[in-house]
Amino acid sequence: MTEESIRGDTFELVRDEGEDSRKLKGLTPRQIVSELDRYIVGQTDAKRAVAIALRNRWRRRMVPDDLRDEIAPKNIIMIGPTGVGKTEIARRLSRLAGAPLIKVEASKFTEVGYVGRDVESMVRDLVELGVKMVRDEENERVRLEAEQIAEERILDSLMPETATDPEFAHDDLGGKVEFTGGGGIREKLRMLWRKGKLDGRMVEIETTAQSMPFAQIFSSGGLEEVGFNLNEMMSNVLPRKTASRKVNARQAFDLLVQEETAKIIDQEAVKAKAVERVEQNGIIFVDEIDKIAGRGSSHGPDVSREGVQRDILPIVEGSTVATKYGMVKTDHVLFIAAGAFNMTKPSDLIPELQGRFPIRVELDALTKDDFIKILKDPENSLTRQYKALLDTENIEIEFSDDAIEEVAEMAQKVNESTENIGARRLHTIMEKVLEDISFDAPERQGEKVVVDREYVTSRMKDLVADEDLSRYIL
């Protein structure tokens, strides 16, 4: 997927710009919700809100230039208990749009002047992810060309020094190679290489040496805010060195493909494309925002609440952040905040920050029926995951409807009697139910195991009988 620069002064000129725009155009809000339904049970209001927000991105890019920059993203705040799908909605949304997304926890940031991560680091992390996405796409695009060049370099290393080189008289080369002049030997080697018969032969290749690995030690922490990469700076000053390595032909080929790929790709174009993608399509998911809600402090500076909110505010409002890939604007980055708000409420946030999250959606706590659907319906449901895992041991496992109902009922009961952690409770119960099968699987290959209600209760009866379930199921 490519990201082209947005140009043009009229609606017609920008209508069909870039593959990203075309992909977004094909995703209507109804289709987005339908895709999210494949993996997430319920939470229709939240799905509709993010679907509209994603569609608005395409709409903004289709309007005339003079108005496009004035249209700000409608940031979303999700309110609901843990384990109901807040993070999963954002993660699946980014996959649909092919957009760079990072998840950060608001509680890890501290006010400027105190030890801890500064809020601008979330933007730098997003840019790093964007660069990786674009670079991976470019690597895939030029891979065939890089492989062709690497193959020629491998053949150069495999070519015999003389026509009667004893190294090339073995059966693994299909008999003795006879010198016929021209490209006869090389083409025979090419044929054998492509059949994989030369993979184990040792060759000596020249590769670019990695210079100054220690520089990363200094650039990863204290110099984060300076906006440059010490490794890159020093590599431009010092000459690149080559190193000779002796490895087998297949390892050499992989190394040469990486090297040739790096030569073909325009790294500056990758950086520019990544910055544009982040600015236009980036999503930052700020979790645990309720942990920094609340104003005022009775004991000195409140570095974990209002101070952090005021530092986050300019990033959400739209500012320019210095990164090692250049200046990045956050004006059109979509922010999705989430929190349980058990002890606080959204109105406890400072008014300025509240105003930057105009869309608020409440996610419902999960019921027994929701748990049943989660266990059965999604494409990545727990029952399908366990079936696939045990299938690797040649064990066929089947879950009956009454077993699924029993697990769901038990999850609801434990959530009500202890801490409500939503669908994450299902992982704990399922792991406990299948503990014996998972442990004995290598010795039970070829068996078929039917998990029914009786099987579930037999594995959980001791825990159910104990009133203090939290001692066992956390």
Q: Cα–Cα distance between 261 and 266 in angstroms, integer?
A: 10
Lowest mean pLDDT among 7-11, 123-127, 267-271, 305-309: 7-11
The per-residue pLDDT for range 155-187, each reduced to its tens digit, is 888 776 554 554 454 444 444 444 444 457 778
Q: Cα–Cα distance between 281 and 272 in angstroms, integer?
A: 14
The per-residue pLDDT for range 336-391, each reduced to its tens digit, is 888 888 788 888 888 888 888 888 888 888 888 888 888 888 888 888 898 999 89
Q: In this structure, are residues 27 and 45 in contact, taking their beta carbons and an 8 Å threshold?
A: no
pLDDT at 276 over 80: yes
Mean per-residue pLDDT for 403-414?
Answer: 86
Residue indicated by tokens 């990469």:
229
Q: Indicate the residue type of 454.
A: E
Q: What pLDDT score does 117 carry?
A: 66
Q: Cα–Cα distance between 473 and 425 in angstroms, integer?
A: 8
How many Cβ atoms sit within 10 Å of the Cβ of residue 115? 6
pLDDT at 37 over 80: yes
Q: What pLDDT score does 241 carry?
A: 67
> In the structure, what pLDDT confidence band is assigned to residue 93 with cuts at 50, 70 and 90?
confident
pLDDT at 111 over 70: no
pLDDT at 453 over 60: yes
Q: Indicate the residue type of 168.
A: F
Lowest mean pLDDT among 139-148, 210-219, 269-278: 210-219
> In the structure, what pLDDT confidence band is assigned to residue 25 with cuts at 50, 70 and 90?
low
| DSSP SS3 for 127 | helix
> In the structure, what pLDDT confidence band is assigned to residue 127 with cuts at 50, 70 and 90?
very high
Secondary structure element (H or E) that encloses residue 360, with its range:
strand 359-362
pLDDT at 83 over 60: yes
Is the pTM higher than 0.75? The answer reads no
Residue indicated by tokens 């660069």:
131
pLDDT at 217 over 50: no
pLDDT at 14 over 60: no
Which regions of 192-241 does DSSP assign to beta strands (E)? 202-208
Burial class (CB in 10 A: 0-12, 13-18, 19+), 445: exposed
Mean per-residue pLDDT for 416-436?
Answer: 82
Higher pLDDT, 59 or 244: 59
Residues 6+ apart with CB under 8 A from 156: none
Which regions of 382-453 does DSSP assign to beta strands (E)? 396-399, 448-451
pLDDT at 295 over 60: no
In the chain, what percentage of residues exceed pLDDT 90?
1
How many Cβ atoms sit within 10 Å of the Cβ of residue 69? 12
Beta bridge partners of 117: 109
- List of domains in the chain: 11-129+274-362 (3.40.50.300), 140-272 (no CATH), 368-464 (1.10.8.60)
Q: At what angle do helices 401-417 and 424-433 cross, to 10 degrees?
A: 120
Q: What is the DSSP letter of 286?
A: E
Q: What pLDDT score does 410 carry?
A: 85
Mean pLDDT over all residues of the chain? 76
